[in-house]
Amino acid sequence: MTDRWERDVPVYNVPIWTKPFKVLMSLGGIALLLTLYREVVGLGPASGMNDAYAWGIWKTFNVMTLTGLGSGAFAIGISAWLFKQSKLHTVMRIALLTSFLAYLSGLIMIGIDVGRPWNIYWLVTPWNWNPHSPLLEVMFCMPAYAMLPLLLENVPPVLEYFHRNKPGTREFVEKCEKIIIAGYPFIVALAYILPAMHQSSLGALMLLAGDKVNPLWQTPFLPLLYVWAAAYLGVCCVAGTLLFTCLMWKRPYDMDVLVLLNKICAWLVGTWILFRMLDIVISGRLGFAFSADIFAGLFWMEMLFLGVGLYMLIDSAKLRNARLMFHAHVLIGVGGLLYRFNPTTLAFQPKPGAFYFPSAMELLISIGFVSLAIAGFCVAVKLLAILPAPTYTWFQMEAHESKLKALNRDEKVGELVTANNFSD
């Protein structure tokens, strides 16, 4: 069913400890245990990384690729605040939450992936920085982004929770909200400049690899293409999550907002594909797309996913068809993720004879931390007002809560009655 999204409402009628949640938490638990093992024995036994492929999926996938999906706050925020798409304000919170969890998971993976993490403290001494290192920019900018603007922007739902459920904190909450409102434009602008910087720096990382990256991907515009891809990946992640969560928790979805997200995504993807193709053609690299090797295959796979996805985006927006939209977002997501992943691993050939595939432990750790992020999402969405819904859903929630409270009181009275033997 469709209805206008006017307000964010917690998912109030579903328990937290569902079966899928338990599965996610156990995967996360396995990952935590394996991480302990990795810290003791070193990176070699715990992963499939080798001297040729010194970066494994922890860095290349969880950080460089998945944080693209976590750029929803970046893309949708810019659309809402800089391009005045005010309809998107109701989906800001879900974008912020997914981004925050994706970044948190990614940052933890960085901490697990580096071999000498005790030296990360040099981050707080700027006079020791190498200002030209793209990795330094990422190491500084990503935590700064996650811990400052992104965290601050995720605080209002928590404050709202306290305000609603713990009346004693109301004064304190209102004071905090005033501070946040005062600093809002500065925080929000920071939330756009910082990801622009580090998402592009993630692309710049592979620039120094030079000819090890296949020519179809290696270009001085790699940073630009990465941040652009982050933008549309963020949009399609949020849109896909919206469709999925509304289905799961039986919320009506606002087709107008989804059509708007489609349009934004389509513009981003369309111009991205155009720019990428122009860059390849003008720099004379088109020939590589027709060589009979796996790299040309990967390139065309990306183009296929994105091209078909783009067509589906436009078509589903016209038809207002939710299923087609979901397909479109999945395809765009896969295509974009593939693009960001390729120059780091699949299209990265350090020298002939070198090969890499993550080990089982490496995969489990990677999956586990993603699961933890998803589990965190499930909890947050049930406790805090994140998911968009029509206003009447809020009133339904309040009605549900008062019914529960009444039941509780009755039960408590019932217990009192039986305890004091007032039965007869």
Partner 1 sequence: MPTDGTLPKAPADITIGESLERSGVSRRDFITLCSAVLATAPMGLALTEKVKTAEQLANTVAKAKKPSVIWLHFQDCTGCSETLLRASRPDLADLILNVISLDYHETLMAASGYQAEKCLKDAMAANLGKYILVCEGSIPTKDSGEYLYLAGQKGIDRLKDVASKSAAIISMGSCASWGGIPSSGPNPTGATGVDQIISDKPVVNLPGCPPNPYNLLGVVLEYVVLGKLPALDQYGRPKFAYDRVIHDHCPRRAHFDAGRFVKQFGDEGHRQGWCLYKMGCKGPGTHARCSTVHFNEMPDCWPIGIGSPCVGCTEKSIAFKVPIFQTIDIHGVTPPDTYPLINARVGSVGTVAAAIAGAVAGGIGTAAWMASQKLPDTPAPEIKDDKKSEGGQ
Partner 2 sequence: MELTRREALKKFATGTGAAVATAGLTTIALPGSANAEVEFKEAPKNAVSLLYDATRCIGCKSCVAACAEANNLQPDTSLSGGLHQAPADLNAFTKNIIKLYKPADGRGWSYVKQQCMQCVDPTCVAGCSFFALTKRPEDGVVWWNASKCMGCRYCEISCPFHVPKFQWEGFNPKIVKCEMCKERLAVGKQPACTSVCPVQAVVFGTREQNLAEAKRRIAENPDKYYQNKIYGETDGGGTQNLYLSHVPFEKLGLPDLGTESIPSKYMKWQRKLYSFLVVPTVLYVTMVGVIRGNWKEHKHHMEEEQKKTGLRPQL
Span of 18-26, 109-117, 237-245, 268-276 interacting with partner 2 by CB under 8 A: 109-117
Contact by Cβ (8 Å): 422, 56: no
261/90 Cα distance (integer angstroms): 12
Which x/- pattern over 314-353 shows residues binding partner 2 (rule: CB under 8 A)?
------------------------------------xx--
Residue 193 binds partner 2, judged by CB under 8 A: yes
Beta bridge partners of 7: 389
Q: What angle, rounded to 10 degrees, do the helices at 92-113 and 151-165 form?
A: 120
Q: For the chain, first and last CA: distance in Å?
A: 51
CB of 121 to partner 1, least distance (A): 33
Which partner in partner 1, partner 2, none is near 279 (CB below 5 to 8 A by kind)?
A: none
Joined together, the tokens standing for residue 301 give 């796979």
Residue 127 binds partner 1, judged by CB under 8 A: no
Query: What is the identity of the amino acid at 167?
Result: P
Residue 321 binds partner 1, judged by CB under 8 A: yes
176/182 Cα distance (integer angstroms): 10
Residue 126 binds partner 2, judged by CB under 8 A: yes
Residue 84 binds partner 2, judged by CB under 8 A: yes
Contact by Cβ (8 Å): 34, 360: no
CA 163 to chain centre: 27
Q: How far is CA 181 from CA 161, 174, 175, in A?
A: 17, 10, 10
Instruction: Report 367-396 residues binding partner 2 (CB under 8 A).
Output: 385, 391, 394
DSSP per-residue codes, 196-246: HHHHHHHHHHGGGGGGGB-TTT--TTHHHHHHHHHHHHHHHHHHHHHHHHH
Which partner in partner 1, partner 2, none is near 19 (CB below 5 to 8 A by kind)?
A: none
Residues in the interface with partner 1 (CB under 8 A) total: 48
Count of CA atoms in the C-beta half-sphere (13 A) of 371: 19
Instruction: Report 38-57 residues binding partner 1 (CB under 8 A).
Output: 48, 50-53
Residue 160 binds partner 1, judged by CB under 8 A: no
Nearer to partner 2 among residue 120 and residue 286 (C-beta): 120
Strand 7-8 and strand 388-389: pairing?
antiparallel
Residue 314 binds partner 1, judged by CB under 8 A: no
Nearer to partner 1 among residue 61 and residue 74 (C-beta): 61
Q: Indicate the DSSP class of residue 385.
A: S
Q: What angle, rounded to 10 degrees, do the helices at 170-205 and 222-248 form?
A: 130
Nearer to partner 1 among residue 39 and residue 398 (C-beta): 398
Instruction: Report 356-375 residues binding partner 1 (CB under 8 A).
Output: 356-360, 362-364, 367
Residue 353 binds partner 1, judged by CB under 8 A: yes
List 354, 379, 404, 407, residue binding partner 1 (CB under 8 A): 354
Q: Could you give the 3-state DSSP secondary structure of residue 129?
A: coil
Residue 183 binds partner 2, judged by CB under 8 A: no
Rg from Cα positions in the chain: 24
Residue 144 binds partner 2, judged by CB under 8 A: no
Residue 319 binds partner 1, judged by CB under 8 A: yes
Q: Can you tell me which residue has the tokens 């040309």?
A: 296
In 78-150, which ranges are continuous DSSP H helix?
92-113, 134-145
Residue 41 binds partner 2, judged by CB under 8 A: yes
Residue 171 binds partner 2, judged by CB under 8 A: no
Residue 40 binds partner 2, judged by CB under 8 A: yes
CA angle 303, 57, 27 (to 5 degrees): 110
CB of 234 to partner 1, least distance (A): 18
Nearer to partner 2 among residue 67 and residue 371 (C-beta): 67
Residue 327 binds partner 1, judged by CB under 8 A: yes
In 50-169, which ranges are continuous DSSP H helix?
57, 66-69, 72-77, 92-113, 134-145, 151-165
Nearer to partner 1 among residue 3 and residue 177 (C-beta): 3
Span of 78-86, 244-252, 269-277, 360-368 interacting with partner 2 by CB under 8 A: 78-86
Span of 117-125, 249-257, 261-269, 272-280 interacting with partner 2 by CB under 8 A: 117-125
Joined together, the tokens standing for residue 190 give 């920071």
Instruction: Report 204-263 residues binding partner 1 (CB under 8 A).
Output: 243-244, 247-248, 253-256
Residue 164 binds partner 1, judged by CB under 8 A: no
Residue 285 binds partner 1, judged by CB under 8 A: no
Binding site for partner 1 (CB under 8 A): 2-4, 6, 48, 50-53, 243-244, 247-248, 253-256, 319-327, 330, 351-360, 362-364, 367, 390-392, 395-396, 398-399
